[in-house]
């Protein structure tokens, strides 16, 4: 849930209010989902047959298992409507891929595009050619060229068969580790230390390989990008935007906002709701870090990626401001922003949904729209509290990993009684626009 929260906080920071009614993304896509599942099942079977043909013995069998397990999990997500098939987002991505394909015949023809109901600005491409773009990416980036840059990067992964190579590395490393584990079991001294060293080396090696692949995807992706009619400097600007996502501090939810929206006709605001837990006696420095965080990162720092591209492609040393968004992209950006709450609700992140609604309301955005989502999310929180499973939908306070503002919000939520939650839910669900 913390990942979803951070995604919202960062996406929220650099956006502006939009005074228009929101047209929800059309989810009446049963036929498209059914057709995709048929296509995806066929492609999975083809991958399994090819893996057994190309890699004999244990390698081929293990690769087949990986494809089967992944397909089962992914098909479940499709059936649960985690993706959008019939939307303006799909149309935009298809048009950008066609622009990239004009001068890049190496781009596969069998790409299938899915739009994920996820507010994180991310994209990924699977071994079978399935292309997933998160809705959050449309909100975070500034124009068509930047979106095309992300697509080009993912095409770099696809063209280089990085997914397949990663799976094969896992299989080979598993075999090596089994031998090492047997050797550890046969010894009597320092078993725990040797086992941890095995785990640490495995994690570090995976991180190093992933970082190498990211650099390769940048280079190949940029070649695809520059062969098209997009502005070259936007490739670097895209990486800078993603760097912003990693570094911007979250905004504060003011105490006045709580008092404004929770001082209700049938329930006056209570100062005790804002009381915080005292964590001052807890020693957070007691834990001795055993893993190097830098070695665990799968993506290189954006500065390193940018400098690497400028070294390989000198024309990228020239910098320019972001291109102005086209009218069609501006519509996408607005729609993606308004889909923030429906996406949180779909993923059952009701606590983060309430926090997000309050952030939007604090700046006076689409008040009736976000008040209605406040009611919907509070209703779900009420059901969870009544059924003793609130932990599933609302984080516990974690001073080491949460902002002061989010900790205050969680304290507020946990301080509310069951009846108080119901009063808030009822008020915002029945309130007239």
Q: Do 157 and 259 sit in the same domain of this protein?
A: no
Residue span of the structural domain in which 174 resides: 25-231
pTM for the predicted model, two decimal places = 0.82
Residue in the block written with tokens 């059901």: 383
Q: Do 54 and 145 sit in the same domain of this protein?
A: yes
The answer to the question of residue 294 being in a domain is: no
Q: Do 97 and 147 sit in the same domain of this protein?
A: yes
Name residues whose C-beta falls within 8 Å of residue 140's C-beta, 6 or more positions apart in sequence.
10, 11, 121, 241, 242, 245
Q: Do 218 and 278 sit in the same domain of this protein?
A: no
Q: Do 170 and 274 sit in the same domain of this protein?
A: no
Q: Which stretch, 161-170, 204-213, 252-261, 282-291, has highest mean pLDDT?
A: 252-261
**Per-residue tokens: 67:** 């494809």
Residue in the block written with tokens 């709450």: 341
The answer to the question of residue 308 being in a domain is: no
Q: 245 near 178, Cβ under 8 Å?
A: no
pLDDT by residue (tens digit) across 226-277? 999 999 999 999 999 988 776 655 678 999 999 999 999 999 999 999 998 7
Which is it for the CA torsion 325, 328, 329, 330, positive or negative? positive
Residue in the block written with tokens 């909100």: 139
Which is it for the CA torsion 79, 80, 85, 86, positive or negative? positive
**pLDDT of res. 295:** 47
State yes or no: pLDDT of 16 exceeds 70.
Answer: no
Residues in the chain: 433
Q: Do 46 and 83 sit in the same domain of this protein?
A: yes
Closest CA to 235 of 346, 330, 148: 148
Tally of domains within the chain? 2
CA-based R_g, the chain, Å: 24
Q: Do 99 and 177 sit in the same domain of this protein?
A: yes
- Report CA-CA distances (Å) from 190 to 181, 193, 197: 13, 5, 11
**pLDDT of res. 281:** 53
Q: Tell me 392's DSSP state.
A: G
Q: Do 120 and 47 sit in the same domain of this protein?
A: yes
Q: Do 148 and 262 sit in the same domain of this protein?
A: no
Helix (H, G, I), strand (E, B) or coil at 87: coil
Domain boundary among 197, 231, 265: 231
The answer to the question of residue 301 being in a domain is: no
Q: Do 219 and 185 sit in the same domain of this protein?
A: yes
């Amino acid at each position: 849930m913390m990942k979803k929260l951070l995604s919202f906080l960062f996406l929220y920071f650099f956006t502006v209010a939009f005074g228009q009614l929101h047209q929800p993304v059309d989810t009446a896509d049963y036929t498209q989902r059914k057709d995709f599942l048929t296509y995806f099942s066929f492609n999975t079977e083809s991958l399994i047959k090819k893996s057994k043909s190309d890699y004999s013995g244990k390698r081929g069998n293990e690769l087949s298992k990986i494809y089967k397990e992944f397909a089962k999990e992914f098909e479940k997500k499709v059936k649960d409507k985690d993706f959008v098939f019939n939307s303006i987002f799909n149309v935009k991505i298809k048009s950008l891929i066609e622009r990239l394909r004009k001068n890049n015949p190496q781009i596969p023809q069998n790409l299938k595009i899915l739009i994920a109901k996820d507010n994180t600005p991310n994209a990924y491409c699977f071994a079978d050619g399935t292309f997933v773009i998160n809705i959050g990416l449309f909100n975070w980036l500034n124009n068509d060229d930047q979106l095309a840059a992300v697509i080009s990067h993912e095409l770099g992964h696809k063209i280089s068969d990085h997914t397949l190579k990663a799976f094969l590395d896992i299989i080979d490393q598993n075999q090596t580790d089994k031998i090492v584990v047997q050797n550890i079991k046969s010894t009597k001294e320092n078993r725990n230390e040797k086992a941890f060293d095995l785990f640490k080396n495995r994690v570090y090696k995976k991180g190093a390989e992933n970082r190498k692949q990211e650099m390769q995807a940048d280079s190949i992706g940029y070649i695809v990008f520059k062969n098209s009619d997009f502005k070259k400097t936007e490739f670097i600007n895209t990486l800078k935007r993603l760097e912003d996502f990693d570094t911007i501090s979250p905004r504060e939810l003011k105490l006045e906002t709580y008092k404004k929206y929770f001082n209700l006709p049938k329930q006056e605001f209570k100062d005790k709701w804002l009381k915080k837990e005292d964590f001052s006696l807890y020693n957070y420095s007691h834990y001795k870090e055993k893993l190097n965080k830098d070695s665990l990162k799968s993506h290189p720092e954006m500065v390193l990626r940018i400098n690497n591209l400028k070294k390989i492609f000198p024309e990228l040393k020239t910098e320019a401001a972001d291109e102005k968004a086209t009218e069609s992209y501006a519509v996408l950006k607005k729609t993606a922003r308004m889909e923030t709450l429906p996406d949180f609700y779909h993923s059952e992140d009701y606590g983060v949904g309430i926090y997000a609604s309050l952030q939007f309301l604090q700046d006076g955005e689409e008040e009736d729209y976000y008040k209605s989502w406040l009611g919907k999310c509070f209703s779900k929180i009420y059901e969870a509290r009544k059924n003793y499973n609130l932990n599933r939908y609302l984080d516990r306070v974690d001073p080491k990993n949460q902002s002061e503002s989010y900790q205050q919000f969680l304290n507020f939520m946990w301080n509310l009684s069951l009846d108080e939650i119901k009063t808030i839910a009822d008020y915002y669900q029945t309130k007239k626009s």
